[in-house]
Each structure stands twice: as structure tokens, then as C-alpha cells.
Amino acid sequence: MSIALQKTLSLLLLIVIGILLQKKLQNEDQKKGLKTIILNIALPAMIFVALLKIEINPDLLILPVLALAFNIVMIVLTKYSLPFFGIKSDSPAMRTLMLLLPSLAPGLTCFPFIVEYLGDDVLAWAALADIGNKLFVLVLAYLLAMSWYYKNQNLKAKSNGQKVKELLIAMVSEPINMVILVAIVLLSFGFHMDSMPGFLSESILMMKDMMTPLVLLFIGIAVIFKWDQLRVITSLLTFRAGFTFMLSGLFIWLVPMPSEAAILLAVVFPQSAVSFWPFAHMSAIRKLEYDNERQKDNPTFDLELGINVLAVSMPFSTLLILGVFTSGSYFTSPLHIISIGGLLVGAALLPKAIQWVRSTDFSFENMREKVLKDSPVE
């Protein structure tokens, strides 16, 4: 069994263990405690280590720009495509999916395979591209989530200046954002992980290593299986994957690529699972709503839907990425990539098309009535 496949199975096993632990951890306070450890300890440590390991090559600065552009394109696509899947506009489900589907979590679902199949050099490119994605999921997604919160709760009494001030205070007070600021300051003075005292760097690395198992266990513990909902989620993820393949194929067709490894990176990086960070922002906003009795019954986001999207996206993306890497050179052809993307988009839309056909009356009498109704009256 290959190392990459073993890695995939080990990650999926942790989700399964979390599912098996659901009966042991039914208390909401227990789940809240696990989430607090993830958001306030493990996740900030992981971000801190990733930032302090960055060695920026000026020629590769286009990579984070491209990743951020992908996030923006995907959020526009999500906004206008979700109504076709029965998601109501300006609903908690719509806002939840608009934050999650454009986001990427390459650290869990992409980086292990890149190391195995493409090597450390390409992994460095992927980590650099992830800076643009991190800007989206940590900053832009947070600002968007907070603006929806203010709009949904009709908090119009506050001035724009007051809102901006509260946003800035909330951002700085979050451990994730505080860590980013500290890491940027240290990098500006030339400090890296190797520059830190051994006991300090070792402690940070141990906290960072908790991130992956805790997140996967939390997903398994918190996931609530509703098969109607899971069917919709699978359709949405299939549509997302198909459109992303088409976007990658078009990009590879139009832009000269330096190597086959760079082509495969452009294919698999956007196929990463959705990120946990937008869900963290939504959880923080839900806490604000719970603290206010008037806001409790009017949620801005659907956290149950969000955790199920995270749970389904993880195995979905890992299987897709593993399929790309194990298919040889098939995914180095732009035509092949675009074709696979078109098939996935078609597969996602097919159930809705069948549903529309079944609900439409194509009888002769009905068609005749429509023709007569649409005919001009003389």
C-alpha cells in the first residue's frame, strides 16, 4: 500500500473514530471544550509555524495572488449557482455555503499527496499559494461573516465607524489573528522557527501537531447525518469539483507551465477540501447570538449544515486528489481536465434536470394550451 493511500486512510479513520465517540460526547459543553482547544491553541500554533517557515521567492509571489483570485471567483459562482440546487437566497444555508465552498484546506487533503507524488519543491509552491487562500479564509471571510451578522440581526443603530472599530477589535482579539500579527513582526526582524529557543519552538510544534487529529475527531463527533442534506452536499461538492477542474484546465491551456509537476499542482490544489476556518468564524458569531436572547432564534449561519459540509468534503477531496495522482499523465492535458470537469458539472445538475422534467406536464393538451396562451390575439 502506498504511503499516500495510507495517509488518506489514517485521516478517514480519525473521522470514523469521532463518529464512534458521539455517544460518549453528547454533552454540548464537552464539544465546546474540544472546539476551544482547536480554535485557541492548536490552530494558532499551526498558523504560527507555517508562517515562520516561509521563504519567499519574488518570482513566486504570483501564486498567492492566483489562489486569492480563485477564492473570489468561487464565491461569485457559489452565490449565483446555489439557487439552482434549491438553496434560498439570503438564508442561513446560503450564507454558510458561500463562506465554505470557496475556501480551501490544502494542509489536510492536498499537501500529503503533493509531498508523496511531486516532492518538497512543489510543496513549497503550494504553501506559498496557500498564503492567498489564508488571506481569504482568515480575513475576508471573517469580514464578510461579520457584515452578514450585522445585517441579519438588524444592527443598524451603529455607525459604520463603530462597526469597523468593533470588527478590528474582534479581529485583533482572536488568537488566530494575534498569531498572524506576531509572526509578521518576527519575520520582519528576520526570526524563524530555528531562531527561537529550543523549549519554546518544541512546545509550539507539539501544539501544532494536535491540530489534524483534533479537527478530524471533532468533525466525526459533531457531524449529524441527514441523508437528504448529505445528498444536496454531495451534489454541491461535485459541482464545485467540476467547475474547478474546468477552471484549472482553462488556466493550464492559456498559461505556459514550467513542468508537469506545476500542471498537476494547478489541478489538485483547488480540489482541496473546504476550510475549517470559515466555520470557526461562524461558530464565533453563533456564540454572540447565543449571548443575546433576541438574536438566539435568528441565526446568521447554519452550523449543522456547515459541519456536515466539512465532514463530506474531507473524504470527497482526498479521493479526487488521489485519483488525479494515480491516473498517470492523464490530467496533464487541458482537454482531459476540462472534459472531466464538464462531466462532473453535468452529473451534479442531472438530478435537478430529471426532477424538472418529471414535474413538467408535456401532455398534448397542456402544450396546446400554452401555445394558445402565448399566441397573439388578433
Q: What does the pLDDT read at residue 215?
A: 77
Question: Which pLDDT band, with edges at 50, 70 and 90, does 160 fall under?
Answer: low
Q: Are 349 and 239 in contact (CB under 8 A)?
A: yes
Helix runs in the chain, H state only: 3-20, 28-37, 43-52, 62-81, 92-100, 106-109, 111-117, 120-135, 141-152, 160-173, 175-188, 198-209, 211-222, 227-254, 260-268, 277-291, 303-325, 334-359, 364-374
What's the grid cell of residue 198? 529550543
Q: Tell me the pLDDT tens digit for each residue of 210-269.
A: 877 887 787 778 776 667 778 888 999 999 999 999 999 999 999 888 889 889 999 999
Question: Which pLDDT band, with edges at 50, 70 and 90, does 10 fall under?
Answer: confident
CA 146 to chain centroid: 18
Q: Which residue has the cell 485519483?
A: 323
Q: What are phi and psi of 85, to 5 degrees?
A: -100, 15
Domain boundaries, the chain: 3-351
Nearest to 145 by CA among 204, 114, 193, 103: 103
How many other C-beta atoms lie within 10 A of the C-beta of residue 85? 16
Going by the DSSP 8-state scheme, the letter that residue 102 receives in this structure is T
Q: When comparing pLDDT for 142 and 54, which is higher?
A: 142
Q: Which residue has the cell 468533525?
A: 219
376 residue type, one letter? P
Helix 260-268 / helix 120-135 crossing angle, nearest 10 deg? 40
Quick check: 276 pLDDT over 60? Answer: yes
Does the domain made of 3-351 have the CATH classification 3.40.1580? no
Nearest to 178 by CA among 27, 39, 62: 39
- What is the Cα–Cα distance from 157 to 154, expressed in whole angstroms? 8
Q: What does the pLDDT read at residue 248?
A: 94
Span 76-82, mean pLDDT?
A: 91
What's the grid cell of residue 24? 460518549
Span 171-179, mean pLDDT?
A: 71
- What is the Cα–Cα distance from 206 to 362, expressed in whole angstroms? 64
Question: Which pLDDT band, with edges at 50, 70 and 90, does 157 fall under?
Answer: very low
Q: What does the pLDDT read at residue 105?
A: 86
Q: What are phi and psi of 298, to 5 degrees?
A: -130, 70
What's the grid cell of residue 67? 489562489
Least confident of 47-61, 69-83, 245-259, 291-305: 47-61
Q: Which residue has the cell 456547515?
A: 306
Quick check: 81 pLDDT over 60? Answer: yes
pTM of the model as a whole: 0.73
Q: Tell me the pLDDT tens digit for each residue of 12-51.
A: 788 788 888 888 876 767 777 887 787 788 878 877 887 7
Please, is 278 exposed, middle or buried when counting C-beta atoms within 10 Å of its C-beta (0-12, 13-18, 19+)?
Answer: buried
Q: Are 112 and 118 in contact (CB under 8 A)?
A: no
Cβ-based neighbours of 94, under 8 Å, separated by 6 or more: 82, 87, 88
Q: Which residue has the cell 521567492?
A: 57
Q: Are 344 and 337 in contact (CB under 8 A)?
A: no
How many other C-beta atoms lie within 10 A of the C-beta of residue 24? 9
Span 284-304, mean pLDDT?
A: 79
Q: What does the pLDDT read at residue 247?
A: 94
Length of the chain, in residues? 378
Percent over 90 (pLDDT), the chain: 20
- What is the Cα–Cα distance from 73 to 101, expressed in whole angstroms? 11
Span 270-275, mean pLDDT?
A: 92
